[in-house]
Amino acid sequence: LLQIEYPVSVIAVVGLYRTGKSFLLNRILLEQSDGFQVGPTVNPCTKGLWLWNRVMKTQDKDGNTVNYLIIDTEGIGALDTNSQHDSIIFSLALLLSSYFVYNSVGSIDEGALNNLSLVVNLTKHIHVRSSAQGGEDDGADFAQYFPSFMWLVRDFTLQLVNHDGQPFSAKEYLERALQPVPGFTEQIEAKNRIRRMLTHFFPDRDCFTMVRPVTDESLLQRLSQTPSDQLRPEFREQMLTLRKTIVSCAKPKKMNGTELDGVALVNLAYAYTMSINTGSVPSIQNAWSYICESKCQQALNDAISSYDKQSKEMIANELPLSMEDLEHKHRAMEKQSWALFQKHAIGSDTENFKHQLEDKIRELHRLLQNENSARGRDRAKEILEKLYKDVDAKVQSDEFSAFEEFESERKTVRSKYLEEVPNGPAKQEVLSSFMEQKLAEVGLRFGNRSEREIQKENKALCTELKQQKDELEKIGGQKAKAENEQLKQLKERETVLRELEQTKEAELSEARVKIQNIKTEDEARMTKERDEAKARYEDLRVKSEEKIRNLKEEINAKLTENKVLNERIESLKANEQRINSSLQENKTRLHEEKENLSSQIKGLKEQLQQTQKELSDEKGEHQMTRLRSEKQEEWDRRELAQLKEELSEKKKLMENMISKDLYKRDLESQKSQNQSALVFYPEHVFRTSHLV
């Protein structure tokens, strides 16, 4: 049942023990000889309620697929059970089914109605409202939750004809049996109470009669093993008709206008049986609340699982993404999760589950953003290192003769990086950190290289100066002029060396200033771009939240509108059912009046024949023939005029009644929108004209 995610009908068969309920289900609904256990003895075979282990499927007259479940029940009235046990079996079958078949044998008489006295105590074993809600339940309260009712009469041997020999339907047979018995004694009141209960509890009711399956008494004890071709042809034909009737009339199980699937049926059965097993009275509203809570919890879990599953697939196959793409996919996943929740959540108290879903989606979204940032940071760093690889090789091999050459290629790398890496919170962060590190390394490398060159030149000059001093000391006796000249040259060289050192120092300072300016510019640019990215992200987030709020408001409005429409539809259906019932009663009255008119016409014709006979005796054959012709024409005219008058009067009354019913139905619909209720019971009195 938990795997059934579509609405299903539930057909239950209840009746006295050893009346062939299991045989009926096997042959008619399962279309097989075996299935539910069948036995030939007086001992009951079925205990409790048994559900067939798979969903049955068939096609209705319109070609639509009909899915239904079958429940076989323990027979009521067995010697080893009591009335309390029978009431529980009867009540559970009623509460779980959408089409209820009551199986009996013989005919619908006082004995058969007394066997259905369980309905009198239904209000003791079933409550519509919970104990906290209070109030007493009435027939209308039960009728909206009870299934369609069929009284199946087995081994039926009577003829369905009225006193005049006119045939009528099995449904009319049931309606006649449910008419109150005249009288005021306690015994009659008890009989009429059963009739009233059946009428009020089951407004959608029907009846079907079947002959005995075989004429040979010996075959009845092994009926389950008897091949179909040995059953009476009339019985086989009735089986086919009954199956079509049940399948076409069995609608999906509903509660409060909501069709129930397998999961809801499991929760419904669990709620009812838990109430019974704990000694309390099953409450339909409590069971409905339990179903709603279970369905909402399952819908919440499914919605969260849907978002989480898609998030994990995205993490495994798609990240990193740009901020815009990530938010777009998040909105799509969130919309899908909400649609899944709204599809399966039922009931009016869903706000708590909605808040839970919002919080969980927000948490999963935050985790997805963090993972996307981490993946984006790693991916950006990988791309940047790949683009910078050639530049770094030139730096390491000292191929750049000036800092401007390095800066040109660095800007090229930066431009390519900004083009290739998608927008994200880590994009500028990675670029800023990486370039700051590389600029510091390159600046230090250029500074060290300039310092090494200066030291090398200083060392060469010092070596040359030392050599010249050594030569001067060696020659010691040269002329003062030559010494002065050499000293002058040495001073000039020393001055040149100092100027060169100052120049190199100035170049190094200038390079450091340039590096610092570049770092400052990059930091300012990156800060600006980061702020712009954050602003775009914040704007995108605000717009997304606004769209989500609008979407939720639209969904809630649609749900409210659908709820109002469902209530109006249910009200219209109830009105239509009352009108159809009234029309059926009027049709029955018209039929009876027609029969009365036919009887009167028949009497008048007999009087005419008597008169004709008397005239024939007195005036002879010729006068009798003429008078008979004149009388016949006169009576025919009077009869035709009277019938036309009667039909015209009834037609006007019917049109008046229908227009009043439609007007009051519209009035009920309008008042239901203003949250007020109007109960209307149409009463029409037909006056009958009799021929005198």
HSE-up of residue 507 (Cα within 13 Å, Cβ side): 18
| Average pLDDT score over residue span 486-510 | 72
Residue 258 in any domain: the answer is no
| pLDDT surpasses 70 at 384 | yes
Lookup: tokens for 597: 């008119």
Categorize the per-residue pLDDT at 119 as very low, low, confident or very high, splitting at 50, 70 and 90: confident
CATH of the domain at 114: 3.40.50.300
Say if residue 224 is in the same domain as residue 345: no
CATH of the domain at 339: 1.20.1000.10
The pLDDT value given to residue 548: 74
Residue 264 in any domain: the answer is no
Higher confidence at residue 504 or residue 389?
389
Say if residue 385 is in the same domain as residue 430: no
Say if residue 160 is in the same domain as residue 41: yes
Q: Cα–Cα distances in Å, from 662 out to 570, 658, 669, 680, 686?
A: 15, 6, 10, 11, 19
Q: Is residue 255 within 8 Å of residue 76, measured between CB atoms?
A: no
HSE-up of residue 387 (Cα within 13 Å, Cβ side): 22
Higher confidence at residue 165 or residue 403?
165
What gap in Å lies between CA 346 and CA 641, rounded to an integer? 61
The sign of the dihedral angle between the CA atoms of 443, 446, 448, 451 is negative
Choosing from 213, 230, 251, the residue where a domain stops is 251
The pLDDT value given to residue 679: 34
With b meaning 16 or more CB within 10 Å and e meaning fewer, what string describes 383-398?
ebeebbeebeeebeee
Categorize the per-residue pLDDT at 140 as very low, low, confident or very high, splitting at 50, 70 and 90: low
| pLDDT surpasses 60 at 133 | no
| pLDDT surpasses 90 at 12 | yes
pLDDT tens sequence across 414-442: 888 787 777 766 777 777 777 777 777 77
pTM: 0.56
The pLDDT value given to residue 75: 83
| Average pLDDT score over residue span 172-176 | 94
Residue 627 in any domain: the answer is no
What is the total count of domains within the chain? 3
pLDDT tens sequence across 517-527: 776 776 777 77
- What whole-number percentage of the chain has pLDDT above 90? 17
The pLDDT value given to residue 555: 76
Categorize the per-residue pLDDT at 690 as very low, low, confident or very high, splitting at 50, 70 and 90: very low
Q: Is residue 661 within 8 Å of residue 682, measured between CB atoms?
A: yes
Q: Cα–Cα distances in Å, from 116 out to 103, 223, 249, 589?
A: 11, 26, 23, 28
Choosing from 554, 586, 606, the residue where a domain stops is 554
The pLDDT value given to residue 151: 96
| pLDDT surpasses 50 at 684 | no
The pLDDT value given to residue 8: 93
Residue 223 in any domain: the answer is yes
Total residues found in the chain within this entry: 692
Complete DSSP assignment for 85-144: HHHHHHHHHHHH-SEEEEEEES--SHHHHHHTGGGGGHHHH-BSS-TTT-----HHHHHT
Please name every residue paired with 11 in a beta bridge, in sequence order, or none if there are none: 70, 99
pLDDT tens sequence across 445-489: 777 776 777 777 777 777 777 777 777 667 665 555 665 676 677
Say if residue 321 is in the same domain as residue 425: no
Higher confidence at residue 298 or residue 385?
298
| pLDDT surpasses 70 at 221 | no
- Strand 258-259 and strand 56-59: the pairing is unpaired
| pLDDT surpasses 90 at 300 | yes
Say if residue 447 is in the same domain as residue 313: no
Q: What is the CA radius of gyration of the chain?
A: 49
Categorize the per-residue pLDDT at 40 as very low, low, confident or very high, splitting at 50, 70 and 90: very low
| pLDDT surpasses 60 at 358 | yes
Say if residue 230 is in the same domain as residue 284: no
Say if residue 336 is in the same domain as residue 440: no
Categorize the per-residue pLDDT at 108 as very low, low, confident or very high, splitting at 50, 70 and 90: very high
List the one residue out of 316, 184, 228, 298 whose CA is nearest residue 32.
228
- The residue segments making up the domain with residue 325 are 280-414
Higher confidence at residue 346 or residue 671?
346
Residue 529 in any domain: the answer is yes
| pLDDT surpasses 50 at 674 | no
The pLDDT value given to residue 63: 76
Q: Cα–Cα distances in Å, from 95 out to 89, 102, 125?
A: 10, 14, 11
With b meaning 16 or more CB within 10 Å and e meaning fewer, what string describes 269-306?
bebbeebeeeeeebbbbbbbebbbbbbbebbbeebbeb
| pLDDT surpasses 50 at 676 | no
Categorize the per-residue pLDDT at 622 as very low, low, confident or very high, splitting at 50, 70 and 90: low
Q: Is residue 113 within 8 Å of residue 180, measured between CB atoms?
A: no
Say if residue 385 is in the same domain as residue 454: no
The sign of the dihedral angle between the CA atoms of 133, 136, 142, 144 is negative
Say if residue 365 is in the same domain as residue 484: no
The pLDDT value given to residue 87: 86
| Average pLDDT score over residue span 378-401 | 78
DSSP-H helix ranges across 318-402: 323-344, 351-396
What gap in Å lies between CA 279 and CA 308, rounded to an integer? 43
Contacts for 285 with CB less than 8 Å, ≥ 6 apart: 128, 129, 130, 133
Residue 633 in any domain: the answer is no
The pLDDT value given to residue 31: 58
pLDDT tens sequence across 178-214: 999 988 888 889 889 999 989 999 999 999 999 998 8
Say if residue 142 is in the same domain as residue 219: yes
The sign of the dihedral angle between the CA atoms of 371, 373, 375, 378 is negative
* Average pLDDT value for the chain: 77
Choosing from 414, 433, 457, the residue where a domain stops is 414
| pLDDT surpasses 90 at 43 | no
Say if residue 312 is in the same domain as residue 446: no
What gap in Å lies between CA 164 and CA 527, rounded to an integer? 103
Contacts for 147 with CB less than 8 Å, ≥ 6 apart: 10, 12, 94, 97, 98, 99, 100, 253
| Average pLDDT score over residue span 124-128 | 78
The pLDDT value given to residue 483: 59
Q: Cα–Cα distances in Å, from 154 out to 104, 150, 160, 674?
A: 6, 12, 14, 49
pLDDT tens sequence across 526-565: 777 777 767 776 777 777 778 777 877 877 777 777 777 7
Say if residue 85 is in the same domain as residue 169: yes
Higher confidence at residue 236 or residue 134?
236
The pLDDT value given to residue 659: 56
Q: Is residue 214 within 8 Å of residue 232, measured between CB atoms?
A: yes
What phi-psi label fits residue 80: left (phi over 0), alpha (psi between -120 and 50 degrees) or beta? alpha
Task: Give backbone dihedrals phi and psi of 259, rounded to 5 degrees, phi first.
Answer: -75, 140
Q: What is the DSSP letter of 26?
A: I
Residue 424 in any domain: the answer is yes
Residue 671 in any domain: the answer is no
- By three-state DSSP, how is residue 340 classified? helix
The pLDDT value given to residue 127: 80
pLDDT tens sequence across 248-292: 888 999 988 888 888 889 998 998 898 888 888 888 888 888 888
Q: Cα–Cα distances in Å, from 362 out to 206, 441, 533, 538, 550?
A: 54, 43, 21, 15, 17
